[in-house]
């Protein structure tokens, strides 16, 4: 089992997508990349902790490779937007990948180099090694499935899920 931390805007979106991917065994929402120990959602939302909303994505390498995880990640958010995704604005919504080791970081950087030309603007996704992950409060777990009628879920998450389902039919549980 391998793990990587993915920050692609609101973690409710990222969690909903990766929970559907074949080979992804565990998805945990949380906070990473900041200075505050044990931050809360309220602190994160103020944008002063330095953390990004992210997921811990644990996957079985026999079922899915890191490059497929990265392909899905970069296809389901805009990695060219600095410190925002759509109307979610602030460093807590930045595009970032937090790797567990140098080998993983090298794979991620090579992947980005290979897809940068596909975008009109330069990819601004941060890539660093960091395992200092803080698990989010329980009410963030499985947020989309428990709150699918919520306006944010309908307007922001549902369109991303539809795009994901259309593009990755063979990778969905």
Per residue in 43-88, pLDDT (tens digit) is 999 988 999 999 999 999 999 999 999 999 999 999 999 999 988 8
Count of structural domains within the chain: 1
Enter the pTM of the model.
0.95
pLDDT at 171: 87
Per residue in 27-48, pLDDT (tens digit) is 999 999 999 999 999 999 998 8
Residues 52, 34: Cα–Cα separation, whole Å: 7
Range of the domain at 150: 2-171
pLDDT at 136: 97
Torsions phi, psi for 37 (to 5 deg): -85, 135
CATH number at residue 129: 3.30.1060.10
The catalytic site residues sit at 10
* DSSP H or E run through 96: strand 95-99
């Amino acid at each position: 089992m391998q793990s990587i931390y993915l920050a692609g805007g609101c973690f409710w979106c990222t969690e909903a997508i990766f929970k559907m991917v074949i080979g992804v065994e565990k998805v945990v929402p949380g906070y990473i990349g900041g200075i505050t120990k044990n931050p809360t959602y309220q602190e994160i939302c103020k944008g002063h902790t330095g953390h990004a909303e992210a997921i811990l994505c644990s996957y079985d390498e026999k079922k899915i490779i890191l490059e497929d995880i990265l392909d899905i990640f970069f296809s389901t958010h805009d990695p060219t937007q600095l410190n925002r995704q759509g109307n979610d604005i602030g460093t807590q919504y930045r595009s970032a990948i937090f790797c567990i080791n140098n080998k993983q970081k090298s794979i991620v950087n090579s992947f980005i180099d290979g897809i940068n030309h596909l975008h009109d603007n330069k990819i601004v996704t941060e890539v660093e090694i960091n395992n200092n992950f803080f698990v989010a409060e329980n009410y963030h777990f499985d947020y989309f499935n428990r709150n699918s009628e919520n306006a944010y879920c309908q307007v922001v998450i549902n369109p991303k899920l539809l795009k994901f389902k259309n593009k990755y039919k063979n990778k969905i549980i």
